Amino acid sequence: MRRWVLPCCLCLATARWLDYEESGATPGSSSAAAQNTELLNAMLASLCAGDTLFVPNKTFWLAGGVLLQNARNVTLHLDGTLEFLPGRAGWPEQEGVICNLNPLQPARAKRCVKEAIFIANVSKLTLTSTSGGTLNGHGKSWWGYLQYFFHGENRPRLLSIYNGTDILVEKWNFLDSAYWTFTALDVARMEIRHCTVSARVDKSDDHDLGNMDALNTDGFDVAGRDIHIHHCSVWNQDDCFTVQPRDRTGINADCTENVLVEHVNASGLGLTIGAVRPTPGHNCVRNVTFRDAYMLHTFKGIYLKSQNSPVEGVSGEISNVLYEDIVMDRPSQVPIWIGPAQEADSYKACSLLWPEVPFADCSPPGASMLWANITLRNIRVLNPKQSPGLVYGNPDRPMQNIHFENVVTVNPGLRPWGRSYYKCASWPLQLACSCSVLASSGSETLFVSVDPQRTFYLR
Ligand SMILES: *[C@@H]1O[C@H](CO)[C@@H](O)[C@H](O)[C@H]1NC(C)=O
Ligand SMILES: *[C@@H]1O[C@H](CO)[C@@H](O)[C@H](O)[C@H]1NC(C)=O
Ligand SMILES: *[C@@H]1O[C@H](CO)[C@@H](O)[C@H](O)[C@H]1NC(C)=O
Ligand SMILES: *[C@@H]1O[C@H](CO)[C@@H](O)[C@H](O)[C@H]1NC(C)=O
Ligand SMILES: *[C@@H]1O[C@H](CO)[C@@H](O)[C@H](O)[C@H]1NC(C)=O
Ligand SMILES: *[C@@H]1O[C@H](CO)[C@@H](O)[C@H](O)[C@H]1NC(C)=O
Ligand SMILES: *[C@@H]1O[C@H](CO)[C@@H](O)[C@H](O)[C@H]1NC(C)=O
């Protein structure tokens, strides 16, 4: 067995440049994965403030369970590829409370996989590259409806950050994650730029059934405050750019707020808020802007979603959200969806089969959810295969100030809502909402909102 000599373990005043290969990592060999992982973890644990860990432009195999914790002012400079061994056989696992450390992890887990890379308790972290570094999760070996049946969501995130401040991520490419790709939970002051996410089963430029079985391959999931994501692109089979809530249990933010996502390409389940599930600590997303996005053949496009909770005394909020200058080109499902999350596995979720399949249920958002000040401006939806949109609030607590300004659908599909185009509903149908098409010229159908006092109108 090869031994490596770690750079001196005392933190000196001078910043160090630590070369992974020169320190003993073996490139190009998957049989070196376990040793490479051990070395990487040892090097990450030894980083001092000011240090840079450099991965040269070669491929290094890893086994999962990479950990960086309690670090300040460190840089990971990745010019090559970190490639994770395929498959769950031999993937490192862990037990106990650590499984629920990430509050977004399915809570039932007593034993869970380790993330591919987990970063916690960091400040002033930089993930960079000269011209592009890659993490490859070999997701294909984890995807599929059958695998989902057996393992559900107990799959590793490719890169998971928890409790971090002042973070810059740039020029990294995230390929084929087994599960969510990039999660930054409870962060403050983070910038992500010039990054890409790709999770696709084949080269088809559509989200067909074959590709959609790359389940839960979320792109960028972020929660916290003061977050800027720009010049990035995502092609995946779940939420593309997702703003997740925080509540009063948060460390760096008690509500996810001040998030700007701009100049992006996205194709998957869309530019998403939530799902926001009401909690005792007021789960919350506030002041979010998505602007200048191009969405080719996306599944959903603009997607704001809440979940229901069986717990008493909970509350939640989605407020002050702007979507501006967005083009969707031939989206395959309902392009604009504002209402309950459509999913398989949460309490009183809106069924994935709704509304096509009779008796499939779609409960409205709970009355404990505040929905307010949501504006869609200059949105063009070109040739959607389905009806343009849904706005679905709770009659006991109508959504407030929902504005559609210059939201144009060209050649809208007729399924499932026919010539009403939009489904605007509360449930049951004593609604504070009416939809009709006012202006129609040629194949263009224009939907504009009037100012609603408290309730949502679309005409
Ligand atoms: C962080 O580290 C860099 C060297 O990588 C150094 O120039 C800088 O002064 C450090 N900043 C802080 C706040 O420690
Ligand atoms: C982060 O810091 C907290 C509080 O100091 C500690 O309990 C926790 O174990 C740390 N997490 C990790 C992954 O190091
Ligand atoms: C890595 O090498 C490849 C060719 O071998 C090159 O195309 C690429 O730009 C290099 N990346 C970096 C970050 O130097
Ligand atoms: C969060 O991370 C910081 C280091 O950046 C640490 O001091 C703090 O204890 C951590 N808090 C928790 C609750 O983990
Ligand atoms: C988005 O896609 C267009 C081509 O359709 C390309 O010109 C542009 O650079 C892409 N933007 C990003 C951020 O990837
Ligand atoms: C909303 O967020 C933006 C950053 O996207 C920030 O510049 C602005 O100050 C925030 N507004 C409020 C009222 O906090
Ligand atoms: C909605 O916007 C109005 C006008 O800017 C503001 O007065 C109100 O506080 C906002 N509502 C919420 C819940 O933030």
pLDDT in tens, 58-91: 999 999 999 999 999 999 999 999 999 999 888 9
- d(CA 72, ligand 2 centre) in Å: 14
Closest-lying ligand 5 atom to the alpha carbon of residue 294: 1
Alpha-carbon distances of 193 from 17, 55, 74, 449, rounded to whole Å: 23, 20, 18, 34
Residue 341 sits in which domain range?
13-451
Positive or negative, the Cα torsion across 452, 455, 458, 459?
negative
Domain-located, residue 456? no
**Contact between residue 46 and residue 97 where contact means Cβ atoms under 8 Å apart:** no
118/413 Cα distance (integer angstroms) = 43
Question: Could you tell me the CATH number of the domain that includes residue 324?
Answer: 2.160.20.10
Q: Which atom of ligand 6 is nearest to the CA of 289?
A: 5
DSSP one-letter code for 110: S
Indicate whether 242 belongs to any domain.
yes
- Structural domain count of the chain: 1
Nearest ligand to the CA atom of 191: 6
Q: Is 372 in the pocket of ligand 7 (CB under 6 A)?
A: yes
Q: Which residues lie below 8 Å from residue 129, measured CB to CB, with a gap of 6+?
A: 77, 78, 79, 170, 171, 172
Considering only CA atoms, which residue is closest to atom 6 of ligand 3? 57
Which atom of ligand 4 lies nearest, measured to the CA of 122? 5
Locate 295 and state its tokens: 């969405």
Task: Please tell me the predicted confidence (pLDDT) of residue 126.
Answer: 98
* Cα 215 to Cα 155: distance, rounded to the nearest angstrom: 11
Output the pTM of the full model.
Answer: 0.93
pLDDT of residue 178: 96
Task: Examine residue 1 and state whether it is found in any structural domain, yes or no.
Answer: no
The answer to whether residue 311 is domain-embedded is yes
- Comparing CA positions, the residue from 213, 220, 272 lying closest to residue 237 is 213
- 111 lies in a domain? yes
Atom of ligand 3 nearest to the CA of 129: 13
Is any atom of ligand 2 closer than 6 Å to the C-beta of 121? Answer: yes
- Ligand 6 pocket member 134 (CB < 6 A): no
Tell how far the Cα of 163 is from the centroid of ligand 4, in angstroms: 6
Task: Name the CA radius of gyration of the chain, rounded.
Answer: 23
Is 396 among the domain residues?
yes
CB distance 224 to 252 below 8 Å: yes
Ligand nearest to the Cα of 256, by number: 6
Tell me whether residue 364 is in a domain.
yes
Segments in the chain below pLDDT 70: 1-10, 102-109, 425-459
Give distance in angstroms: CA of 194 to centre of ligand 5. Answer: 11
At residue 13, the pLDDT reads: 73
Residue 2 lies in a domain: no
- The closest ligand to the CA of 44 turns out to be 2
Q: Which atom of ligand 3 is nearest to the CA of 130?
A: 13
274 touches 306 (CB < 8 A): yes
pLDDT in tens, 178-228: 999 999 999 999 999 999 999 999 988 889 888 888 889 999 999 999 999
Which residues are within 8 A (CB) of 201 and not within 5 positions of it... i.e. 6 or more apart?
Answer: 140, 143, 210, 211, 213, 214, 237
- DSSP assignment of 27-69: TT-GGGHHHHHHHHHHHHHT--TT-EEEE-SSEEEE-S-EEEE
Q: Which ligand is nearest to the CA of 164?
A: 4
Q: List the residue whose alpha carbon is closest to atom 4 of ligand 7.
A: 373
* pLDDT at 176 (0 to 100): 98
